Amino acid sequence: MTDAAASSSEGVPSSEFAGVPDGFQRLWTPHRMAYVQAGADAMRAACPFCAAPGKSDADGLIVHRGTSAYVLLNLFPYNSGHLLVCPYRHVATYDQATAEETQEIAELTQTAMRVLRSVSRCDGFNIGMNQGAVAGAGVDEHLHQHVVPRWASDANFFPIIARTKALPQLLGDVRETLAAAWPAD
């Protein structure tokens, strides 16, 4: 629901509420309260990157399973096909990963780029790791590398003006397409 649609029980539009207006539009997402109320301790206790490999590929959004690392879709993608490459082992930072883990993360990242390029015809990539909460890591206790496909036309008016991302494909459909295109070992 947008800010314009949000209102009190008396039908007063939110633009009439007390406070100083700012330049931001609001996208009301009450379903996200589960994450807010759970807090950081619950996230650490139930690490999504430790839980995913125990699920089916479809339920865990897993595209490929390697020996010491795996590839899955980001549950909150910046663009369609936004992948994460994670070691199975629960380590927080890149310097804690073993040589085998860093090698496989690098190889899976290269393969992810090739698969994304062939399937989605993207024009480029953002690749990176946010190490620690202060650096922007949403899950700061489990190392993960982002592989975000980019297109020359992906910065339309939504994120620029409305601060909203439009994602043209459902996560399950993206996972099936990428997994099917992933080369056999």
Distance CA 148, CA 150 (A): 6
Q: Give residue 146's pLDDT band: very low, low, confident or very high (50, 70, 90).
A: very high
Collapsing DSSP to helix, strand or coil, 42 comes out as helix
Phi, psi (deg, nearest 5) at residue 57: -60, -40
Give the start-to-end residue ranges of the domains of the chain. 27-181
Q: Give residue 169's pLDDT band: very low, low, confident or very high (50, 70, 90).
A: confident
Q: Give residue 36's pLDDT band: very low, low, confident or very high (50, 70, 90).
A: low
Collapsing DSSP to helix, strand or coil, 7 comes out as strand
Q: Give residue 45's pLDDT band: very low, low, confident or very high (50, 70, 90).
A: low
Active-site annotation, residues: 144
Distance CA 102, CA 48 (A): 20
Task: Give yes or no for a contact between 129 and 145, defined as CB atoms under 8 angstroms apart.
Answer: yes
Higher pLDDT, 119 or 46: 119
Per DSSP (E only), the strands in the chain are 62-65, 69-73, 83-87, 124-128, 145-150
Q: Give residue 185's pLDDT band: very low, low, confident or very high (50, 70, 90).
A: confident
Higher pLDDT, 155 or 64: 64
Q: Which residue is it, tokens 């039908």?
A: 11
Least confident among 22-26, 89-93, 100-104, 112-116: 22-26
Residue 23 neighbours by CB under 8 Å, 6+ apart: none
- pLDDT, one tens digit per residue, over 108-141 is 999 999 999 999 999 999 999 998 888 888 888 9
For the chain, what percent of residues have pLDDT higher than 90? 51
- pLDDT, one tens digit per residue, over 49-92 is 999 999 999 999 999 999 999 999 998 888 889 999 999 999 99
DSSP letters, 157-180, are HIIIII------S-HHHHHHHHHH
> Among 72, 98, 78, which residue's Cα sits nearest to residue 163?
78
Element (H, E) at 50: helix 48-51
pTM beyond cutoff 0.85: no
Distance of CA 118 to the CA centre of its chain: 21
Q: What is the pLDDT of the chain when averaged over all its residues?
A: 82
Distance CA 65, CA 102 (A): 15
Residue type, position 150, single letter:
R
Positive or negative CA dihedral for 136, 137, 143, 147? negative
27-181 CATH pick, 3.30.428.10, 3.40.605.10, 3.30.1490.20, 3.40.718.10:
3.30.428.10
